[in-house]
Amino acid sequence: MLTRRIIACLDVDGGRVVKGTKFVNLRDAGDPAELARAHAEAGADEIVFLDITATHQERGTLIEAVRRTARELFVPLTVGGGIASLADAAAVYEAGCDKVSINSAAVKDPALITRIGERFGSQAVVVAIDAKRMEKPLQDELWRVYVRGGRVPTERCVLAWAREAEARGAGEILLTSMDRDGTGIGFDCELTAAVAEAVSIPVIASGGAGEVKHFVEVFQGGKADAALAASIFHFGIHDIRELKQRLAAAGIPMRFPC
């Protein structure tokens, strides 16, 4: 079986890592470079750096913060937020990242997925989807796509958009449940499994991690290829190395540093 990945997420605002609940009520969590290094040393398989206010503020990614973070790492780094063109993607690659994550710009211009994939390889293109359950389901669709840091709903439904993103060349889907984000009550396994069944590329589950059993649930019932968390790592609620050991004991294949 393929090993599953544990990913530490850095939500960055103004050069500092922050974390909130359901995309609001942010609190400071530390310096991105320092936290990235600590999480990697603790056993994280990858680090995701998201400049969460770049799109809303209509500015580019904080390149210097990305560069400082990349210098501290020996694991893959994904960067998202404010990437709206091929030139933007090139700039963050040059700053040291391994993959780019695009969300709002991809919804606005889906061909951007293809352009970045053709230039840097589909394995380096992650399409992030911020999903929120609809009050009134639309046929077989239960979740709507949101953009601009979760502030703006779109007309797109999650499953259809995930399929289109894959068809246009995305290498992975970073799927965040806005309903679960920062709550600690567990991943939305129904959402994650629905997207995992809709596409053949890896799906990263995000939003709601609070304890070990939540990771077991999302890897088993949610069919996730990777699970991403922030608060439980930043604030010392869970140790990544211990988490991976307990997941391995539950029969979930994990990668351990030599």
Over residues 189-200, the pLDDT tens digits come to 999 999 999 999
- Binned at pLDDT 50, 70 and 90, residue 237 comes out as low
**Would you say 189 and 142 are in contact if contact means Cβ atoms under 8 Å apart?**
no
pTM for the model: 0.91
**Would you say 187 and 175 are in contact if contact means Cβ atoms under 8 Å apart?**
no
Q: What are phi and psi of 51, to 5 degrees?
A: -80, 95
- Binned at pLDDT 50, 70 and 90, residue 230 comes out as confident
Name the CATH superfamily, with its identifier, for domain 5-249: Aldolase class I (3.20.20.70)
C-alpha separations of 173 from 15, 23, 199, 227 in Å: 25, 19, 9, 11
From 229, 192, 196, 189, select the one nearest 211 (Cα to Cα): 229
Whether 232 has a pLDDT exceeding 90, the answer reads no
11 catalytically annotated: yes
Whether 103 has a pLDDT exceeding 70, the answer reads yes
Tokens describing residue 113: 């997925």
Q: What is the pLDDT of residue 23?
A: 52
- Binned at pLDDT 50, 70 and 90, residue 22 comes out as low
The active-site residue, picked from 11, 13, 181, 188, is 11
The active-site residue, picked from 45, 51, 88, 130, is 130
13 catalytically annotated: no
